[in-house]
Amino acid sequence: MKYFYVIGFFVLMLFDTLAQISFKYASIYAMPLTFDIPWLARVFSHPWIYGAFIGYIGAFFTWMTLLKYAPVGPAFAASHLELISVTLLSVWLFNEPLTLTKVIGAALIMIGVIFLARDESEQDTHHDHFSLHS
């Protein structure tokens, strides 16, 4: 079941990252914002908007599947791993600066996910230990 979680959260991160990067590219092609029919035609003529839809739909179904089986605390924390992947890809694709604040934030997200996963694992081990002796 552990591999299910690891693979599931990796897939969730991929879908979320696809959605965010696609929205960024779609927004570039959507300028200037005019909110009229030609603007809608321009937005929907670029494939990035469809990447965003696929990313969000894929993330939704992956998240629903994970929530069915994964503990909520670690699952919620791990669902934010895309913040790290989007930040790193934004540095590469959009020349956004990688600041110390972003690095610290990414490290704190990773530490939080690790601590919550370890805590959940220890609780499962503790629970299994008591159920064997009951």
Going residue by residue through the chain (134 aa), what tens digit of pLDDT does each one get? 677 777 888 899 999 999 999 999 988 888 888 888 988 888 888 899 999 999 999 999 998 988 888 777 777 777 788 899 999 999 999 999 999 999 999 999 889 888 877 766 666 555 544 454 54
CA–CA–CA angle 27, 31, 33 (5° rounding): 100
- The C-alpha atoms of residue 100 and residue 106 are separated, in whole angstroms, by 10
Residue 114: both structure tokens together: 């690790």
| pLDDT given at position 121 | 62
Q: How many CB atoms lie within 10 A of CB 130?
A: 8
Rounded to two decimals, the pTM is: 0.78
Cα of first residue to Cα of last residue in the chain, in angstroms, is 24
Nearest to 23 by CA among 45, 1, 53: 53
pLDDT of 129: 47
At 30 the pLDDT is: 81
